[in-house]
Amino acid sequence: MTDSPFHYQQVATAARCIHDGFLDYNRAFREITARAGRRFEERDWKGQMADIAARVELYELWARRTVETLRTELGEDLAGHAFWAEVRECFGLRVEAVPDAGFMKTFFNSITRRVFGTRGVDAAVEFVQPPPEEGIESLTMRRYPCWNDLDQACQRVLQDFAFERPYVNRDADARDMAATIREQLGGGEADADCLRFEFIDSHFFQGTRAYLVGRMRLTDQVRPIVVALRNDDEGIAVDAVLLTAEQVGVVFSYTRSYYFADPTSVVAAVQFLHGLLPDKPIDELYTVLGRLRQGKTERYRQLMHHLDRTDDAFVHAAGDAGLVMIVFTLPSFNLVFKIMRDVFRPPKTTTQEDVHQSYRLVSRHDHAGRLIDTQFFRNLELPRARFSEALIDELMQEAPRTVTAHGDRLVFGHAYVERRVRPLNLYIREVEEAEAKRVILDYGRCIKDLAATNIFAGDLLLKNFGVTSSGRVVFYDYDEVMLVSDCRFYELPEPDEDFPLMEHATTRFVGAHDIFPEEFIRFLAMPAFLRQTFLSEHSDLLTAEYWRDVKRRRVAGEVAEIVPYARQSIAPQQISL
């Protein structure tokens, strides 16, 4: 730094502004997160849903404010790669080895990208390499030795993770916890086999539930343990004890809403969870903990690392071509990339801005285990040589305002990136009849779960739904997503002599949010036996009254309890705010 052509104070000022901006963002993030405990105790589900949206917006808000502060502090000195290389060095030296330093460096990169309008990655001014792992030891844990008595150990856990509102029957809950553990571990020797419980020192709040997240150290293995707590009219009670990686993986799924939790180190908490769920990508764990930008950074790093180690080509994703998005994938990597067409063909009447707003709505909403989390990338660069010629031709012809070629790279002005699932219309052709019937019934439950959380999918064609690796039906085409509370549901009118509506060439004005559920039958493009299966359980979806009732409940402030474990009933329970 002594040979710097820039005044050291200017460099330090820029680095300090970014550091202070991150601290302000992180403080605001933690303040919203801290409210979740009170929301749970007071059963303020409406407030929690508002906090989901507020917290999602924080990063962009503080990144924008930080750039404005820099412009005020530095004026014309803000530009210049040589200057910013020194700012990066100054910043990096001061945050090195600080807990969650990777978050700070990601925030720094976000600022430089806004200053320079960066395409791809600018290694001259950004932190490119991931920070060193912090180690699990930086995560504060609560430990409970088990002295050959699971009931007593479970009692101590619940006592330690108490709320101001009391448990309905803590002793009974502790006995039920212990009984569940014994059953999973094989009975009589469980009390001796369990050495201790280790729980992260924070409640994890999501929807109408609070979770205790930890692991059991046994004599011969380590197993996850997640305890789900509910708060109903009588008080707080244990609702479920989850003890397998499969169960816990669903709780931390990419189709679930973001958690409100405040561990001492988010990086270490992600490492801890990854140790329990080794098949779960790191980026998804960051995202489900509410650190969306870090999740996006990790996803990009994993993609770049994968491209360096493979040679397969990006190709059109499986499924029917969309009228709004061009969707492609890398067969060896479990993501899809969605690029908006410049012009939408009929019958689509939405605009590009409408679509962006629909995706933004989903990012701020309860995912209910039915909406795939989607990340928005600006100026994403990918190697042109890795694209099939057919895909390049379509991108250049259909999205020239978004896709440009720069040397050996393709640059995407904006792209939505999400996990790849098997399109439902393809899946039902590939599986046995019993499995096809199961997923068709889950397709109906998916629509109902979304409705219960105030989401109307808009386009109910099977091709817009997919099946996850765990066999769950999810929705992933957000082009026409609306709030149920914004829709108007009608029966199809009958023709009469005065107004022969059903005659050819006779029209009546229908608004964008006017919905005729009886018409949904035309979306059920499936074999007759599957249609019959669907209608046997979900024929109510084809009635205006069903949707009006859902809307009445949403407008009245009722919230559906949709939980990610086996005790969930087929029909979501409705609770008042």
320 is in an annotated binding site: yes
Check: CB of residue 335 under 8 Å from CB of residue 419. yes
Torsion of CA 374, 380, 385, 391, to 10 degrees: 50
Question: What is the pairing mode between strands 374-383 and 409-419?
Answer: antiparallel
319 is in an annotated binding site: yes
Q: Report which secondary-structure segment, H or E, holds 63.
A: helix 45-74
E-strand ranges in 407-541 read 409-419, 422-423, 455-456, 465-467, 473-475, 482-483, 488-489, 514-515
Query: What is the separation of C-alpha 500 from the centre of its chain, rounded to a whole number of angstroms?
Result: 47
E-strand ranges in 468-532 read 473-475, 482-483, 488-489, 514-515
566 is in an annotated binding site: no
322 is in an annotated binding site: yes
321 is in an annotated binding site: yes
524 is in an annotated binding site: no
176 is an active site residue: no
Question: What is the pairing mode between strands 488-489 and 514-515?
Answer: parallel
Check: CB of residue 229 under 8 Å from CB of residue 217. no
The three-class DSSP label of residue 1 is coil
Among the listed residues 51, 173, 366, 373, the single catalytic one is 373
What are the structure tokens assigned to 570, written together? 């087929």
How big, in percent rounded to 5, are the helix, strand and coil portions of the chain? 45, 20, 35
Euclidean distance between CA atoms 268 and 226, whole angstroms: 18
318 is in an annotated binding site: yes
Residue labelled with tokens 């809307």: 551
317 is in an annotated binding site: yes
Query: What is the separation of C-alpha 218 from the centre of its chain, rounded to a whole number of angstroms?
Result: 32
Residue numbering of the annotated binding site: 317-323, 338
Would you name the residues annotated as active-site residues? 373
Residue numbering of the annotated binding site for ATP: 317-323, 338
